[in-house]
A and B are shown apart, each in its own frame.
Chain A
Amino acid sequence: MDTSQLLKGILDLAVLAVLSKEDGYGYDVVRRLRTAGIEEVGDASVYGTLRRLFQQGRLTSYVVPSEEGPHRKYYGLNQSGRDLLEEATKRWTSFTEVMDGLLRLGEEAA
């Protein structure tokens, strides 16, 4: 299973996590995800995820004028976004614990 398949399920969580550290604009979020090690993330997926989270009311957005190039639209978490991050983190943690257990079991059997 390649990483991009795995990413689909957790991209929301990854984007929320990035934005919880610091507000960011679209391409900035892509870059920070890649720097963090998620290199296979698609540009369109990140952009789409940002738009969807924003439409769902999980993010705030504001425009920052830029001297070179167009104005940048920054996204940041609002309370609803922080709640979602907390909830998703819990689910992720319990899920990875189960998966870790399963995989360790596999190792021991082998």
Chain B
Amino acid sequence: MSMTAIEGEVRAYLAAVRAHLNDLPEDERNDLLEDLEQHLTEVRAEGEGSLIERLGPPDVYAAELRASVGITPSKTTWLSRNRDTWNRAVDNIRDFMPELRPGWWVLRGALAVAAPIAITARRDLSDYLRPRAETILGLVFVGVGIWLSVKLGRRALQSAGVRRLAVVVNLAVVLFSVVAWGVLSEVHGDVVNRMVDDAAMQVPGYLAHGDGTPIANICPYDKHGKPLKNVLLFDDQGHPLTDLADPPNAVIDQTVMPPLRNAFPLKRKVMDANTGQVTTMHCPSVIVSAQP
């Protein structure tokens, strides 16, 4: 067997043993395996048969080595056990990053235009998607931004000076974007708050006094204080007033229901909470005298 073939076999075996000890801290592992290459070469050179035939599989060799130096695998963490896998994953990500560069250039160009607009005009780009003159203008600006950004990116790959400029631009764009994000979430937050406030204003959803006391009926009188019946009430838009509050203990009585739900006073039936007796709601017999 040639020297190089032996070297290859030794290196492969050593690498396999090393891989099975990958949970050890780098220093400790190097220290332990310091002269193993020399040792294995010695073993291989002297006798017949491959290393695996004579020493057993590398994982068994590694386990024996571990036992003889008194290292218990139980002390290891998940991360340290998977150190190689982890390193490989990090390497893969690092290799993959350059592939994403053009994507970042485009995004950077768009953000460089969108972020300042968001901050100054307090609007996001979706506002500009409505068909109007600003839309065209906005898209033109974004297009120019992307074009410049891609140009900057390509130059930066070739020149260290441009690369430094690109780093500054990147930082600025990220900073502006973060600020824009804050501004926009505040703007959208305002919209949501306004909607919530509006919803709150609509409660209770029935006629009520200014202090919130519900109005369950309306009792009209003429100027002499005589009670009127079947007075149809409308608002200034001509909508009938029908949204009165239900009195406590109201009994649903079909006979007072439509067609004339705005004929006042309503003949509403209520049940006495104590006696269970059902009576018609009464208007006060009277009170009012005409104002002078």
Contact = CB atoms under 8 A, between A and B. Distances in A.
Interface of A: 8, 11, 25-27, 42-49, 51-52, 55, 68-73
Contact of A44 (B42, B46, B68): B68
Contacts of B84: none
Contacts of B62: 44
B46 A48 contact: no
A44 B55 contact: yes
B259 interface: no
Contact of A48 (B37, B41, B42, B68): B68
B43 A27 contact: yes
A72 B32 contact: no
5 A-B pairs with the lowest CB-CB distances in the bound complex, closest first? A48-B68, A44-B64, A27-B42, A26-B39, A45-B68
A11 B66 CA distance: 14
Contact of B35 (A26, A49, A55, A69): A26
A69 B41 contact: yes
Contacts of A42: 64, 68
B69 A48 contact: yes
B65 A44 contact: yes
B235 interface: no
B46 A45 contact: no
Interface of B: 31-32, 34-39, 41-43, 45-46, 54-55, 61-62, 64-70
A47 B64 CA distance: 10
Contacts of A44: 55, 61-62, 64-65, 68
Contacts of B32: 48, 51
Contact of A47 (B36, B41, B70): B36
A47 B39 contact: yes
Nearest to A51: B32
Contacts of A72: 38, 42
Given A11-B68, A51-B32, A69-B42, 19 more contacts: A26-B35, A27-B42, A27-B43, A27-B46, A42-B64, A43-B54, A43-B61, A45-B65, A45-B67, A46-B68, A48-B64, A48-B66, A48-B68, A49-B69, A51-B31, A52-B69, A69-B41, A70-B38, A73-B35
B43 A43 contact: yes
Given A43-B55, A55-B31, A69-B45, A48 B39 contact: no
A41 to B, nearest CB: 10
Contacts of B70: 52
Nearest to B66: A48
Contact of A71 (B38, B54, B67, B69): B38
A46 B36 CA distance: 11
A68 B62 CA distance: 27
Contacts of A45: 64-65, 67-68
Nearest to B42: A27
Nearest to B58: A44
A73 B38 contact: yes
A8 B67 CA distance: 9
Contacts of B68: 11, 42, 44-49, 52
Contacts of A46: 68
A46 B43 CA distance: 13
Contacts of B45: 68-69
11 contacts: A11-B68, A25-B42, A42-B68, A44-B65, A48-B64, A49-B69, A51-B31, A52-B69, A52-B70, A69-B45, A70-B38
Contacts of B69: 48-49, 51-52
